[in-house]
Each structure stands twice: as C-alpha cells, then as structure tokens.
Amino acid sequence: MHPPISSEQQSAWTSLVFPGAGTQEHFSPLDGSLIAALPKSEALDVDGAFEKARRAAQSWKSESFAHRKRVMMRFHDLVLEHQGTLLDVVQWETGKSRASAFDEVADVALTARYYANSAETHLRPEKRQGALPFVTQTRVHFQPKGVVGMITPWNYPLTLPLSDAVPALMAGNGIVLKPDAQTPFSALSALHLLYQAGLPEGLFQVVIGDGPELGTAIINNANFVMFTGSTATGKIVAEQAARRLIGFSAELGGKNPMIVLDDAPLERALEGAITASFSNAGQLCMSIERLYVHEGIYDRFVPRLIEEVRKLRLGTAFDFSYEVGALISAEQLEKVQAHVSDALERGATLLAGGSHRPDIAPYAFEPTLLTGVTEDMMLCRGETFGPVVAIYRVSSDEEAIAMANDTRYGLNASVWGSKTRAESVAVQIQAGSVNVNEGFTASWASTDAPMGGFKESGVGRRHGREGIQKYTDVQTIATQSGMNVAAPTGMSAEAFTRAMTTGLRLMKYLPFRK
C-alpha cells in the first residue's frame, strides 16, 4: 500500500518542473501503481530552463556566504523535519528499504551542513607567492561557473541531485537538473523544501524527458556538467563536454572488491560485508560485488556469511520491518538474472539466494552469493548492480591485492584486518576510496574528504574542498607595486637581463612563502 500523497504535494511537484508540451507518467516499482504525471521537456525547453536559471544566478552570486549559509541551514532543518515524507517518496519511486532511504535523507542533511559551514573557507581568496618579492602581491579568487548542468541516476534520487547541488549553489551557481525519468519525485520533494528555505525563485530548474535528447541539450548550454551514471554514458558526456571545452565531473561504474584478511574481526567483517553488498539491493555504485577471503579465515567466514545472508528479509512496506527492497525495473531484474544464470550454467556454485521473488514485488530478487566464478562468466568482470556477490579464496595479501586491482574500474574498496596490515593493503588498492574495517559508509560520509574514482570509474571528485572548487573558475589577480616587471626607462635589455639574473640567483636563498 503506497503512502498518501496530497493534491498539494502533486501540484508542488508539477510546478517545479520546467513546463513542456507533453506529459510523462511515472510508476512505482513496488506495485506498478501510478505516482503522478509530470510535464515532459524537449531540447528547446532545456534552453528556456537555462535562460531562467542564468537570470537568477546573476543576483545569487552576489549574495554573501552568510546569506547562502542561512538558506542551506534552514534547508538542513527542513529535510530532517520532513524526513517521513521524504522517506515515503524515496521508497515509493525506487522500491528500496526504508533504512536505505534514510541513508539518503541523512546524507543530504550532512552535506548541507558541511558546505554551509565550509564553503566560505574553501572559496576564500588565497594569497600566493608573487613574481617578485615584496612588490608583487598575488591572490587566487574562485568565481562561480554560472549554471551547472546535472544529470543524475535512479538509484539514489535524493542524495545524488541534492548533495551535488548543495556545493554548486553555495559556490554561487544556478542549476539545471535532469533526474532519471524513473525517479524524479525525491529531488522535486527536496527542491520544494529548498525553496521554502529561501532559495531564489528560478535558480534551480528541473527538466524531465528523454535522456539522450535532454542530456545533449544540457551539455550544450551548461558552464559545467556533473554526471553520475554508467561508464559508457560517461564517455559520451566527456566527448560532448570536450567539444565545448567545458569542465565536467563524473562518477561512473564500479566492480568493487572487499578483502577479508585472516586477522580480520570476524563478526564485524560479517556485518560489514552484508551492509556493503546488499544495501539498496546492491544498486549502489560503491557496493561490493567481489569478495576475496584469505584461506586462513575462509572456512569460518563463508559459512557464517551464508547463514547471515539467508536471514535477510525482503519486503516492500513503508517501515523498517525488512532489510532488502526491490530492484528498480524489469530491465535491472533481467540484467541481474542474466548474470546469475550465466554463471550457474558455466559451472559456478550457488551458496545463497539466486531467485526472483515476484511474490514480494515485481522486481524483487534474493540476496545472492556464488563461488567458482571464472573469467568466462559475465558476473566476473561486468558490473551487476544488484544483490549478487562472487566469493574467491586467496592465499596471501599479495594475491588479494592483485585480484582486487584486476579490473577496469576503481571506485571503492574495503579491507578488513588488523589496522596496520589492513592499511598497508589499502594503499595498494587502485580505487578512489578505500575503507579499512568498513564497507563504504566511512569514506562516503567523510564529507571533508574527496570522493571519486580511478580508471574508468570517474573523473573529478565530489565532497570536500575539491567538491566545491570544481564549480568555480580559478582567477589569478596579481598587483604590482613600485616597479614594473620590465626594464626601467633608460636601461638596456642587456643590462636588465644581467640584473634579473643576479636577482634570480639571490632569490634561491629566500624562504618559500605563500
């Protein structure tokens, strides 16, 4: 039974979408019920959305950091105050469990508070060493890009649009967002709160419609593009952004490994493996899909893991009575089933799960463990993006590191063991974030630290200083006092060259200072 959505809520959703000529209906993966119909945009509508956001951004960029902070802190409070409604909407349009939905609410509040408090520090003009000591004063300024185009996926429809938008807004930009057509309502619900918090009218525009058409139109208008999605689409975004010579940042796919060393804390590692593998039914870019267990702990760890996975409850209720929700769509279910079926047909062993559960929800699939996964199986290297994990036995730290790194991806990894040994392994993993004695939450929730991918898992970073400075153009202003950096009147070029050479030799002995 879906939650009651008032006519006022549906009217608010519609009012926040840039108007188009048509409409598009949106259905819940929980039961196929209609959530609402929203305006459907075309490329020309995207042009209009950018015009509107650009006008609003002209005044927004002149607002003080103190003013922007007040807006963002009010938004933080409203998100927590209205979390019940946000949780309902996230669950209804994604099918995820309520605990996984709360992860999104908590993340948006955490990110809003972080950038409200840190944006001014990250973007404060910086004094840099000038060309000539004492007479050149050089500062670096961070100017907002203008209007940021954002293209976000369906798996975290609240976190990814809003937690990326917060630093862009705090940096003084406008936004045009294209959420995934399957899941627009979470972002719209939060945007409604953002406007209640005092965001200027028109600054944050939303367009909904065909992905390739609107995506291209966004890239053709934006001053910077933030994309989250598949590696294949990310490469297209990169090509289109390059043609316009605009910056972009992208978080892309992953085939994330977890290594369990033979001195790992067994109970914590079991709990961590469950959370890291099956949160949001495995539909998480940072989710663990490969599990490497040292032979010294394998025979204790794996049977216990099987036991715990079989205890996981699937469900669709709007409460906390179960751990694993449904997959998002028939397409995603088909992909997960294909990976599992192909592995079993080619000789893999099923340890737990493996079945579609239409009795629970149209796209529900059991948390699944397999072993004996080999190179000829789709599951081995392809991103499954579902509740499926392949387990491998390893005999040494070196073997585990080599196998973990043997992938074109490098988004997230997890290492479990004694602190010193696990950290030694962690720094050898080719991934943008590595969690020691945690799955993914510790690095993701460390909002002061950059998060992103190595190799084909992404370009650029979100979170931290890097996550807000990317939404700015870096400008150097150098002020020269007393003399020009050129030969004074009456001095020959040759004499000036000799004088400068002497000066350069002396400058070698001056202390470096910023």
Q: How far apart are CA 236 and CA 208, in angstroms?
A: 19
Looking at every residue in the chain, the average pLDDT score rounds to 95
User: What DSSP state is assigned to residue 511?
Assistant: P
Amino acid code (one letter) for 194: L
> What's the predicted TM-score (pTM) here?
0.95
99 is written with which tokens? 């605990």
Query: What pLDDT is stored for residue 6 in this prediction?
Result: 74
Q: Looking at residue 462, what is its pLDDT? A: 97
CB contact set of 110 (below 8 Å; sequence gap of 6+): 445, 447
**What is the per-residue pLDDT for 334?**
98
Q: What is the pLDDT of residues 94-109, one digit of tens each?
A: 999 999 999 999 999 9
> Which position among 25, 93, 239, 285 bears the catalytic label?
285
Residues ≥6 apart with Cβ < 8 Å to 90: 96, 101, 104, 105, 157, 158, 186
The pLDDT tens digits for 228-263 are: 999 999 999 999 999 999 999 999 999 999 999 999
pLDDT digits 0-9 by tens, 455-512: 999 999 999 999 999 999 999 999 998 778 788 888 898 898 898 899 888 888 888 7
Which residues are paired to 174 by β-bridges? 147
Domains contained in the chain, CATH given = 11-252+464-473 (3.40.605.10), 256-450 (3.40.309.10)
Exactly one of 93, 213, 239, 251 is catalytic; which is it?
A: 251
Candidates 59, 79, 77, 65; CA nearest to 170 is 65
Has 251 been annotated as catalytic? Answer: yes
Q: What is the mean pLDDT, run by run of 10 residues, along the chain of 514 residues? A: 71 90 92 92 96 98 98 98 96 96 98 98 94 87 98 98 97 98 96 97 96 96 98 97 97 98 97 98 97 98 98 96 97 98 98 97 98 97 97 98 98 98 98 98 96 97 98 96 82 88 85 71
* Strand 288-294 versus strand 147-151 pairing type: unpaired
- DSSP 8-state secondary structure symbol assigned to residue 201: T
The pLDDT assigned to 8 comes to 79
